[in-house]
Structure 1
């Protein structure tokens, strides 16, 4: 079954939000090319809150998430993100069912 998380980041200001997006974009390049177990990794803007970013991440399983966390591009993102942030909150998710999810027989 899939394993996911949602992370809400609050940047210090508009310049920090832009720099954070650039840092996240650099990490995403590695995620796209080097992480087959990372099924979804999306950085969302919140229209009413311009300094807020919400990441939605879905992995094939917990092991794929742990492999993701060990990647150099992710370790760099984790090490550098704090300089741009006021706060962040992580919510881990265990999949039950859904359309297009790893638990959906039609998605296999």
Structure 2
């Protein structure tokens, strides 16, 4: 398994609303079309109304690469870059036990 946590910081409420709309349209496609994407859950951050965090789990790194190569993902990321002030991705490795 391969997991990622990605934080997106947005500059204002309008950008946050556009981001949320984009997510609402994109996530169902990802879950329907990507067998190797096991979990793809966007979150709001308590106390930080302009922050979003995605938790993503993939079957393996190849499944993540397939996700990144998907045209819908490329369109999503292109638009996201126009909306956010920063993005931080953390690659996660599960602890044993």
The alignment's TM-score, normalised by the length of structure 1, stands at 0.84
Give yes or no for contact 1:6–1:91 (8 Å, CA) kept in 2.
yes
State the Cα deviation string for residues 62-107 of structure 1 (Å, max 9, x = none).
0000001111111111111011111110101123346xxxxxxxxx
- Structure 2: gaps spanning 5 or more residues: none
Secondary structure of 2:68's aligned partner: helix
Of the two, which has the highest radius of gyration? 1
Aligned to 2:46: 47
Give yes or no for contact 1:26–1:73 (8 Å, CA) kept in 2.
no
Secondary structure of 1:54's aligned partner: strand
- Structure 1: gaps spanning 5 or more residues: 99-108
Supply the RMSD in Å over aligned alpha carbons: 1.2
Give yes or no for contact 1:37–1:64 (8 Å, CA) kept in 2.
yes
Counterparts of 2:71 and 2:24, CA distance in 1: 14
The alignment's TM-score, normalised by the length of structure 2, stands at 0.93
List 4+ stretches of structure 1 deviating above 3 A.
Answer: none
Counterparts of 2:93 and 2:24, CA distance in 1: 26
Secondary structure of 1:53's aligned partner: strand
Counterparts of 1:13 and 1:90, CA distance in 2: 21
